[in-house]
Structure 1
Amino acid sequence: MAKIAFTAGRVSAFTCPADKKQAFLWDAITPGLGLRATPKGKSAYIFQGESNGKTVRITIGSPAAWTIEQARTKAREHQRQIDEGRNPAEVKRSTLAAEEAERQHRAAEAEALLQRQAREAVTVSEAWQAYLEERRPHWGARNYADHLKLAQAGGEKRKRMPGAVTTAGPLAELMAMRLLDLTPARVELWAAKEAQTRPARLRLAMRQLKAFLRWCSTQPDYRTTTDAAAASSKKARETAGRMKPKSDVLQREQLAAWFAQVQQLQNPVISAYLQCLLLTGARREELGELRWEDINFRWKGMSLGDKIEGTRQVPFTAYVESLIAALPRRNEWVFSSPASKSGRMVEPSIAHRQACATAGLELTLHGLRRSFGTLSEWLEIPAGVVAQIQGHKPSATAEKHYRVRPLDLLRVHHQRIEAWMLEQAGIEFKPAADSPNLRVVSK
């Protein structure tokens, strides 16, 4: 195998004959260093030696990238590896593998850094929107609306109050913060500020914030930047204070004044809704979401959405039936509203407060539900009957397992409650002829 000393001219002039697959030129100065050429005109420095009785050939690189001296240095390095009992090919593979592993490690670290920075940049608002989207199927409309309202930025024009704008919700101040910065100390400062003007709203906001942070602590995208206990510190709880149980309820002697003002409301849908709310003891959203298909006029029953059981059947009493039968059938909703996007009545509280103010009463919509249960005691109605009509969870073993009251039995008691309330209110009502169990109530 002839050898010549490599020079730039000899290396550049070396070519492979067209009738061969490859040709070699060997350096006379550095043992094992060669130049390989192919018919396509490509050439490369190579090293060839013998390791453990086997010929080893390794590509060094193109003459365009390697000088002759650099190629000689690399060839000597490979020869030293052979002298040390190592296979240059295996060393090269190990080196390349180590370099690739290092490259992947650096890439992974860079990606992890980007992900960490992205997680740390997440704002409370971004996580809050994801929370609402994920939990919305599990909430009622009222609960979802409360979450939106408590976090609203405010400043939007009010539809029903020209010139007025909406107020920012209690949670609005926290929305622009990074989730990472929502610490117990920060929540305590926020709570102290909100407690000065709206402690009741603050308590609701605190409950929602706690649930939100617990949810974040279970999500891969948020758990590393979430302090699940940020809204649970003793100081924050003390600042918010305890919710005082509400006791607003209609007294027997107040029924006449309440009915008189509610019946005079200009909106007949709201008037009927408020009266039905008292006479059924239902939750405001249960009755507000009543559809025509939920009423059985033949068998005198209504199917109400129930937060405990999903749905429950309640009697369709005579006066309630007369109120509902007189309502316009604009769409699927019993208590409809042409001005509402949803097509149903949304906010009857304003009209109710006005009616109560005229009557000299202070009463919330939930106070009507409370009034139904309280006033029923005048008739000594079984507590289990009232609870079943109102959708309260049974509180005794007998009620849970040994009382299955059909709709007819509930109607007997419910009609008594309705008739008594109308009598106390001084309302004369003559039931339909197909209701023989009802009696005429006169003042």
Structure 2
Amino acid sequence: MTKQANRVRLTAGRVAAFSCPADKSQAFLWDTEAPALLVRVTPSGRKTYAFESRVRGATVRITVGDVAAWTLDKARERANELCRLTDKGIDPRDVARQEEAARQAARAQVEAEALKQAEVQRAAALTTGEAWVAYVAERRPHWSERHYQSHLEKASPGGMPSKARGRGDTLTKPGPLAPLMLVPLKDLDAPTIEAWAAREGKVRPSSARLAWRQLSVFLNWCAEQPRYAELLPARNPAKTKKTREALGKDTAKQDALQREQLSGWFHAVRQIENSAIAAALQFLLLTGCRMNEALSLRWSDVNFKWKGITMHDKVEGERTIPLTPYVAHLLTGLPHRNEWVFASARALQMDAHNIRRRAMKAEKRGIVATDGDMQETSGSGHISPPNAPHDHACAVAGIEGLTLHGLRRSFGTLTEWLEIPAGVVAQIQGHKPSATAEKHYRVRPLDLLRVHHERIEAWILEQAEVRFTSQAEPGKLRTSAGAIQLHRVA
């Protein structure tokens, strides 16, 4: 059957009655009113309107839609629209593709605008604390563990059980930067930081100055990040004159043991019952090392055969200093509880007051307190900074204001009495060389350092009136005041 034989004026009834012969895969019925319009039917009975014409010598057939969804009039109207395009030599399919591309572009633009608006809203709600977490995580591989912990402490909200010796039942205070962590990053401007500095500078200026320096570096980092740069002013808001004035200037601490104080200090420190703490304090004074270097000292770092100690410092990574006779005597007398030289006791009995308080708390929670609850241990395995025992010993000796770091300062100061070369002292303490000659033309082997270091130790012990011989039994020493027994915690 030809196309001409199948051309009739389509009506709703003719469309409904039109069917596909059993021996055909499909059948067509053209309209006479809109010559380019046809009805296509399949053996399953599905009928659709379609448009068919020729463009640039090629047949173009385009589906208009299902007859159930399109009225005949609408189908004719659509066929005539497409016919006007083909009469001009335009392929309707090209137009459809262009229209679809335009719709997709418009949709993408709307989605991009919505995404941009959401990003603006998210950025407006972004707190300084969220950016701080990202900053610390990214920079951590480039920091030492102590530097990393310092950033956490300065921004800590507080409220956690204190790890300080003897303060397990108290909660930590918020760090200096804690109030700023809640401020939206876009609102962290100069007036906000100046107001913060004015408050913190009155309460804890030293800690606030360190926190301010960390904040300044953090804001420099933010300015380099595309996702944060637009939220901040062009100039670092932390670097203003008012902020510097509010926090004040760093003043060099002067706390150090005087020669005449050595006897009282040694006498008081060696009476501390915890042998690890007593030894650690003397170790700090006699080696001039940093607190973290002493507490992190492992037995594998001490070479008793070749008389050397490997210190892990923040300048060169590690350095080796002499193991002097008295220090060797101190370390030999310490128990080997674990890998740490200054190991914490496995279980330090708390005083009666704390025991009763913990028992009462356990009773309120309906828990029976066990012996394990009445003990405390160090999570790291080594002792924590012995500030309280040292303060007590200094009070007994009548020495005021001497800090743990002051012991390191004391070592460097006391060597002046012996006119020890400054480069030797710096190398023992782990200071950076301060002159070209020291950097490039002074290579002191351990044996040469030992000559000076043993001389320093002997002089300090002499001034402290400590009578020491290398054959003395570990844990027992003599002074002019008589024998003093060092008590070790088992």
TM beyond 0.5: yes
Q: Residue 188 in 1 paired to residue 199 in 2?
A: no
* Residue of 245, 253, 278 corresponding to 2:252: 245
SS in 2 for 1:306: coil
- Higher RCO (CA-CA < 8 Å; seq separation 6+): 2
AA paired with 2:217? A
* Residue 224 of structure 1, CA deviation: 4.0
In 2, Cα distance between equivalents of 1:158 and 1:381: 42
Amino acid across the alignment from 1:395: S
Measured in 1, the distance between the counterparts of 2:45 and 2:311 equals 87
Residue-by-residue CA offset, 1:359-390 (whole Å, 9 max, x unaligned): 22211222111111111121111111111111
CA distance 1:335–1:220, change in 2 (3 Å)? farther
Return closer, same or farther for 1:93/1:18 CA change in 2, 3 Å cut-off. farther
Give the stretch that moved more between structures: 191-200 or 287-296: 191-200
Aligned to 1:201: 207
Structure 2 residue 407 is the aligned partner of structure 1 residue 407: no
In 2: Cα distance, 1:281 partner to 1:138 partner: 27
Structure 1 residue runs of 4+, over 6 Å off?
Answer: 440-443
1:350 maps onto 2:388 in alignment: yes
* Cross-structure match for 1:269: 276
**Match of 2:464, as an amino acid?**
A
Letter paired with 1:24: F
1:254 equivalenced with 2:258 (yes/no): no
The letter for the 2-side match of 1:215 is W
The aligned counterpart of 1:325 is 332
- Output the amino acid matched with 2:148: Y
Q: Within the alignment, does 1:71 sit opposite 2:78 as a pair?
A: no
Structure 1 pair 386/261, CA: closer, same or farther in 2 (3 Å)? Answer: same
Question: What is the rounded CA distance, in whole Å, between the counterparts of 1:148 and 1:129 in structure 2?
Answer: 9
* Contact 1:47–1:59 (Cα < 8 Å) also in 2: yes
Letter aligned with residue 167 of structure 2: M
Shift of 1:441: 10
Q: Give percent identity, aligned residues only.
A: 54
Once residues 35 and 184 of structure 1 are traced to their aligned partners in structure 2, the CA distance between those partners, rounded to angstroms, is 75
> Does 1:34 pair with 2:38?
yes
Note the C-alpha offset of 1:221.
Answer: 4.7
C-alpha contact (below 8 Å) 2:291/2:385 kept by paired residues: no
Where structure 2 has 5 or more consecutive residues not aligned to the other structure, the ranges are: 347-376, 473-477, 482-490
Is 1:393–2:432 an aligned residue pair? yes
Structure 2 residue matching 1:180: 3-state secondary structure: helix
Alpha-carbon distance, 1:117 to partner: 3.2
Q: Which runs of no fewer than 5 residues in structure 1 stay unpaired?
A: 434-439
Per the alignment, residue 380 of structure 1 pairs with 419
Aligned-pair distance for 1:238? 2.1
Q: Specify the SS of the correspondent of 1:101.
A: helix
- For the residue of structure 1 that corresponds to 2:28, the secondary structure is strand
AA aligned to 1:421 is I
Residue 28 of structure 1: how far off its partner (Å):
1.9
Cα distance in structure 2, aligned partners of 1:388 and 1:441:
31
1:179 corresponds to: 185
Deviation, structure 1 residue 432: 4.3
Corresponding letter in the other structure for 1:85: G
CA RMSD of aligned residues (A): 2.4
Structure 1 segment 1-400 matched on structure 2, within 5 A: 1=4, 2-158=6-162, 160-161=166-167, 164-219=170-225, 221-226=227-232, 229-337=236-344, 338=346, 339-358=377-396, 359-400=398-439
SS in 2 for 1:74: helix
**One-letter amino acid of the counterpart of residue 204, structure 1:** L
Q: Equivalences for 1:410-429 in 2 at 5 Å?
A: 410-429=449-468
Shift of 1:226: 4.6
- SS of 2:312's equivalent? strand
Q: CA deviation at 1:346?
A: 1.8
What letter is aligned with 2:404? L
CA change 1:63–1:263 in 2 (3 A) is same
Structure 1, 168-177 or 104-113: larger mean CA deviation: 104-113
CA–CA distance in structure 2, aligned partners of residues 272 and 12 of structure 1: 105
Q: What amino acid does structure 1 have at the position aligned with 2:136?
A: L
* TM-score normalised by structure 2 residue count: 0.83
1:422 and 1:441 in contact (8 A); partners too: no
Q: Tell me: CA distance 1:176–1:389, structure 2 relative to 1, closer, same or farther (3 Å).
A: same
Shift in alpha-carbon separation, 1:353–1:401, aligned structure 2, 3 A: same
CA contact (8 A) 1:419 1:441 kept: no
Q: What is the rounded CA distance, in whole Å, between the counterparts of 1:18 and 1:366 in structure 2? A: 102
The answer to whether the 8 A contact 1:289-1:333 is kept is yes
Cα distance in 2 between the residues matched to 1:103 and 1:212: 39
**Which shows bigger deviation, 178-187 or 5-14?**
5-14
Partner of 2:369: none
In the alignment, the residues of structure 1 paired with residue 119 and residue 311 of structure 2 have an alpha-carbon distance, to the nearest angstrom, of 47
Is contact 2:261–2:399 with CA below 8 Å preserved after alignment? Answer: no
In the alignment, which residue of structure 2 is the partner of 1:430?
A: 469
Tell me the distance in 1 between the aligned counterparts of 2:386 and 2:249: 28
User: How far apart in 1 are the matches of 2:25 and 2:470?
Assistant: 109
Query: CA separation in 1, counterparts of 2:176 and 2:435?
Result: 39
Query: How far apart are residue 219 of structure 1 and its match?
Result: 4.1
Give the stretch that moved more between structures: 104-113 or 391-400: 104-113
AA in 2 matched with 1:233: T
Q: How has the CA–CA distance of structure 1 residues 414 and 330 changed in structure 2, closer, same or farther, with 3 Å as cutoff?
A: same
CA distance in 2, matches of 1:84, 1:235: 76
SS at match of 2:159: coil
Decide whether the 8 Å contact of 1:296 with 1:302 is kept in 2: yes
Measured against aligned partners, the alpha-carbon deviations of 1:400-430 in whole angstroms (never above 9, x if no partner) come to 1111111111111100011111111111111
Structure 1 position 48, deviation (Å): 1.4
